[in-house]
Amino acid sequence: MDRLDKIFESFASSSLFKSKAVLQSQFIPETIEHRDEQIESIASILAPALRGERVSNLFVFGNTGTGKTLSVRHVGDRILERVKESGLDNLKCVYINCKLKKVADTEYRILAELIHELGGSVPATGLPTDQVYSRFIDLIDDKKQMVLIVLDEIDQAVKKISDDFIYSLTRLNSELKNAQISIVGISNNLTFMDGLDPRVRSSLGEEELVFPPYNALQLQAILKERADRAFKEGVLDEGVIAKCAAFAAREHGDARRALDLLRVAGELAERESSKRIGLQHIDLANQKIERDKMLDIIESEPKQFQLVLMAIMNLNDRIKYESIYTGDVYNMYHELCEKTKNDILTQRRVSDILVQFDMLGIVNTTVISKGRQGRTREIKLMIAPNIKEEAREILNKSLDM
């Protein structure tokens, strides 16, 4: 991808970009603006690790795109640098994102990922969970060291597994003879702590830190800084940055989104070989981001899920004004399965699939009781009309219809 980008860029002499990477989400800037206070706090909490002391478990809150991950990683990297300089080898830092489905959505997988990151290996399945624990312990307890575990999106993990997992992690210290572990939890759910077991809450929340959302002005400053590095001079129209910032500020001050917006706007402008990036590109970019997100989800869904979605879409077209209910969806799904020679799942399962769609935001469901007509889910399709055609194409293709 990067190499292709380079090729294309070298051919497009009118490229607007100086360096696109600056706007990509993996990019880690040297300086993080408007987060000095938080970074210093993190640093002072984690600093004892340099002396080989156990540091307090830390818990970081804040909405998406407020720089939590970035700040924590930044501090972590700096500490590791420091460790390297002084030639010591008594500190390790592991970063895990619990939200990435492939990486971790069971206790097992998170542990496996931890072990993997620390250089060990463990099969993707098959081992009793407690054996994985003991492997983990063996791995880190072979010498005196500190292990810093950063769990990003920890709320996702707890939701899917249970807080026992974190409890056993915090308890692990008592089983370790040489090594010590500390946990840094990152969550974008402010109320996450309330639902936790009190024991977990107290051990995990030894230190807490809140990242407030960026306001529009701060977003502007951040965007400005990055835009200067990313774009050639004078390609941005007046007010483009302000508009990006405004869009993102509306979305809870999500800086990542703001940067995405800017990048996509740039790409769009470039594609129509415009010399400048205008306000209309931002609007287009906003639409495109939404669209891509939705289509990606749809495409990556398993077959049975796609069949159910197809059923919903068919119904949605047919009866424009009435609501769609579970029973209708199931019947339509049944038909589709027969037509496409797919296995037919039970109603129970389809019901669960609908719940999943609801969580993904593809569909909006409400459980209602229709009196004597029983109880059901009222289903509303949330796919924007202008994407429907494409969505249908994707479904047709992958369902072979």
Which spans of this chain sit near DNA (rule: CB under 7 A)?
105-109, 123-129, 302, 304, 325-328, 343-349, 351-352, 354-355, 367, 369-377
Q: How far is the CB of 123 from DNA (least distance, A)?
A: 3
Q: How far is the CB of 65 from DNA (least distance, A)?
A: 28
| 205 three-state secondary structure | coil
- Spatial CA neighbour of 155 closest among 107, 192, 195, 210: 192
Give the DSSP H or E segment for 395: helix 385-399
Beta carbon nearer to DNA, 97 or 106: 106
Q: How far is the CB of 340 from DNA (least distance, A)?
A: 14
Contact 248, 226 (CB under 8 A): no
Beta carbon nearer to DNA, 107 or 152: 107
Question: How far is Cα 383 from Cα 361, in angstroms, rounded to an integer?
Answer: 9
Beta carbon nearer to DNA, 25 or 351: 351
Q: How far is the CB of 395 from DNA (least distance, A)?
A: 16
Beta carbon nearer to DNA, 73 or 116: 116
Tell me whether strands 375-381 and 363-369 are parallel, antiparallel or unpaired. antiparallel
| 211 three-state secondary structure | strand
Question: How far is Cα 248 from Cα 143, in angstroms, rounded to an integer?
Answer: 47
Beta carbon nearer to DNA, 173 or 347: 347
Q: What secondary structure letter does DSSP report for 281?
A: H
Residue found by looking up tokens 């002396």 in the block: 51
Backbone angles phi, psi at 102, to 5 degrees: -65, -30
Q: How far is the CB of 329 from DNA (least distance, A)?
A: 9
Question: How far is Cα 382 from Cα 204, in angstroms, rounded to an integer?
Answer: 38
Beta carbon nearer to DNA, 92 or 109: 109
Beta carbon nearer to DNA, 125 or 386: 125
In the numeric block, which tokens belong to residue 290? 């939404």
**CB 253: neighbour CB atoms within 10 A?**
24
Q: How far is the CB of 375 from DNA (least distance, A)?
A: 4
Contact 382, 364 (CB under 8 A): yes
- Spatial CA neighbour of 71 closest among 33, 20, 117: 33
C-alpha triplet 30, 36, 218: angle, nearest 5°: 85
Give the DSSP H or E segment for 255: helix 255-271
Q: How far is the CB of 319 from DNA (least distance, A)?
A: 14
Beta carbon nearer to DNA, 234 or 302: 302
Q: How far is the CB of 128 from DNA (least distance, A)?
A: 4
Amino acid at 246: A
Contact 252, 227 (CB under 8 A): no
Question: How far is Cα 98 from Cα 101, in angstroms, rounded to an integer?
Answer: 8
Residues in the chain: 401
Q: How far is the CB of 98 from DNA (least distance, A)?
A: 13
Beta carbon nearer to DNA, 180 or 376: 376
Beta carbon nearer to DNA, 211 or 333: 333
Q: How far is the CB of 371 from DNA (least distance, A)?
A: 1
